[in-house]
Amino acid sequence: MTNIRTVTVLGTGVLGSQIAFQAAYSGFEVTAYDINAEALEGARERFALLAETYIAEVEGAPKTGGAAEVVSGTSGKAAATLTSLTLSANLAAAVANADLIIEAVPENLDIKRDTYRQLAKLAPAKTIFATNSSSLLPSDMAEFTGRPEKFLAMHFANRIWVHNVAEVMGTPLTDPATVATVMEFATEMGMVPVEIKKEKAGYLMNSLLMPLLGAASNLLVAGIAEPADIDKVWRISMGAPRGPFELFDMIGLMTPYNIGINGPNPEFARYLKEHYIDKGKLGMSTGEGFYKYPKP
């Protein structure tokens, strides 16, 4: 058992709010920080939605052989989690007693470095820092933390309560004891932890996913087959729940557009812009992408 009890999550976007909720749901004392009252208002809404989702999908998950039993939300653990979360726009107060800070601020190296410069001064010496950055390497931030031996990356997947994997990746300066503590903490917060032995952009998850999505987009742009047919082949031949274009819709089409337009394959980005983005079809979040969805 680790001696981590208090966890502060910086940033309450899609993943930040899920990480905070899941940690609190698992019994940790969690503070969610964001930059101002408006951002925290958004966080409150996300947490309320997460509580509903946990009630339906975690606590009300179908029992073996039976129909779904939905546990009442008013007395359940998800509802209790909602009231246990502390929200704060005061960075000094939010981190003053943190055993672990999980940083999920916007994916921009300057913003992250500036955050670590502040944390280096504000957080107590005991605090471990973990970045949830998807595309940046922790080595590019380590020197700003003031404690590179207590700094690493801890990467989560979207829909953390289902896709409960945590990729833990140190830098050459990270103390192995820090890695061990964070691996154990990950288990305590309900994750399956996986250690990455050398720094790798995209960790394991995106290193595997990006080539699959790239291959699918090449098939589409080359006119080999339709998105629904490509997805069908992948789902049936692999037994996978979703095909690549269903994944694009979940991720949102602006992400592959932004990655692709200045990347090695701008053709797919142009295809996305012309056929979808310019028509307001950005994926699941807008009700339509490669597929149509019920409005959220």
For helices 77-84 and 14-25, what crossing angle results, to 10°? 110
> Which CB atom, from 76 or from 190, has the smaller least distance to its own copies?
190
Q: Give the SS3 label for residue 155.
A: strand
> Which CB atom, from 93 or from 157, has the smaller least distance to its own copies?
157
Site for its own copies in 96-125 (CB under 8 A): none
The answer to whether 208 contacts its own copies (rule: CB under 8 A) is yes
Stretch that binds its own copies, among 71-79, 125-133, 193-201, 284-292 (CB under 8 A): 193-201
Stretch that binds its own copies, among 36-44, 115-123, 209-217, 285-293 (CB under 8 A): 209-217
Which residue in the block uniquely carries the two structure tokens 């269903």?
A: 246
Tokens of 37: 């009252």
> Which CB atom, from 90 or from 218, has the smaller least distance to its own copies?
218
In 143-253, alpha helices (H):
176-188, 205-221, 227-238, 244-251
Tokens of 243: 């095909």
> Which CB atom, from 176 or from 241, has the smaller least distance to its own copies?
241
Site for its own copies in 145-174 (CB under 8 A): 157, 162-165, 167
Q: How many CA atoms lie within 13 A of 15 on its CB side?
A: 19
Site for its own copies in 216-255 (CB under 8 A): 216, 218-219, 222-226, 229-230, 232-234, 236-242, 244
- Which distant-in-sequence residues (6+ apart) come within 8 Å of 216 by Cβ? 227, 230, 234, 243, 244, 245, 248
> Which CB atom, from 56 or from 240, has the smaller least distance to its own copies?
240
**What number of other Cβ atoms are within 10 A of residue 157's Cβ?**
16
Residues that bind its own copies (CB under 8 A): 65-66, 157, 162-165, 167, 192, 194-198, 200, 203-205, 207-212, 214-216, 218-219, 222-226, 229-230, 232-234, 236-242, 244
